[in-house]
Amino acid sequence: METHNSSQDLGERSIKSRRSGIKKGIYILPSLFTTGSLFCGFYSIIQAINGDFVSAAWAIMFAGVFDAIDGRIAKLTHTQTEFGLEYDSLVDLASFGLAPAILMFTWSLRELPRFGWAAAFLFFACGALRLARFNVQASGVEKRYFQGLPVPAAAYVVASFVIFHAQVAWDIRFSPYFVMPLIITLALLMVSNIRYRGIKHIDLSKPQSFVVLVIIAIVLFVVASAPQETMFIASLCYVLMGFVDELLHLRNRKNFLERRLAQQQREALRPQDRLKVVRFSPDGDKKIIQD
């Protein structure tokens, strides 16, 4: 009886310590911005159900702004906690996984009843798998790169395409045949092993060259001149940048392996077995050079 009471007391103390740890581990400021991202995702779902697809797309775009700010604030104020990381991951799944999937289905994919909902679910499921893999590998993967297309980037492609479509006034009847391959491609890229550069990890506190400042000013000018078009083009460029980086990485890795293999082969040869290069001087005398 006493043993049962003692174990019960230990369990109660463990629960209390966990609760107190949660209370001590919650910081209001970064969590407010994370909640703002969650609100934008929820608002996007409501607007997509009501048929206001452009507002739903803009809500996803603003959710990305809140998602970028909360991480920066947590890093600058040293308020990063396990609770904040888990909360941010759940919010990302809602705002950048579920909201874009519902937007694509209600906007276009419902025209393909057999495969439309399956494509939307594939996007949502791959987003969940991508976030789960990121949470498991967060401490072991290089922070400069993401393994697979980030879920917010995939959501930005979807949302910016809706805004771009409304700007150029395309016929929506042709959209499902472009949206379905786009959704499936983005879903597969999220769970792929292609590396993507992390924009959040760019250190703005380090001094930069004057050319970088000029390039940033030009980019801001172009985006401000035609935001509806440039956001979609910029999102696609980020997706394609992963393929370019991957090709360059594979090429550099292949060259490194070839040089390493050649070096090992040279080191494996004994000095007397190495090839000798024979050159003849202009006067006919031969000169032997050992490789």
In a domain, 160, yes or no: yes
Q: 117: exposed, middle or buried (C-beta count within 10 Å: 0-12, 13-18, 19+)? A: middle
Q: Total domain count for the chain?
A: 1
Confidence (pLDDT) at 153: 93
Confidence (pLDDT) at 219: 75
What residues make up the domain containing 92? 13-210
Contact assessment for residue 154 and residue 190, using Cβ atoms and an 8 Å cutoff? yes
* Integer angstrom CA distances of residue 182 from 31, 119, 161, 239: 32, 10, 10, 11
In a domain, 232, yes or no: no
**Quick one: which of 10, 259, 87, 54 has its CA closest to 160?**
54
Confidence (pLDDT) at 212: 64
In a domain, 103, yes or no: yes
* Integer angstrom CA distances of residue 29 from 81, 91, 199, 254: 12, 16, 22, 47
In a domain, 167, yes or no: yes
In a domain, 165, yes or no: yes
In a domain, 76, yes or no: yes
Confidence (pLDDT) at 13: 54
Q: Averaged in consecutive runs of 10 residues, what is the pLDDT profile of the chain (291 residues)?
A: 52 51 61 92 96 95 91 77 85 95 93 88 95 76 74 94 84 74 94 80 58 74 76 89 81 67 65 52 53 49
* Integer angstrom CA distances of residue 248 from 183, 201, 224, 242, 274: 26, 21, 32, 10, 34
Residue 33 sits in a domain whose CATH number is: 1.20.120.1760
What tokens were used for 40?
């934008």
pTM, whole model, 2 decimals?
A: 0.73
In a domain, 52, yes or no: yes
In a domain, 133, yes or no: yes
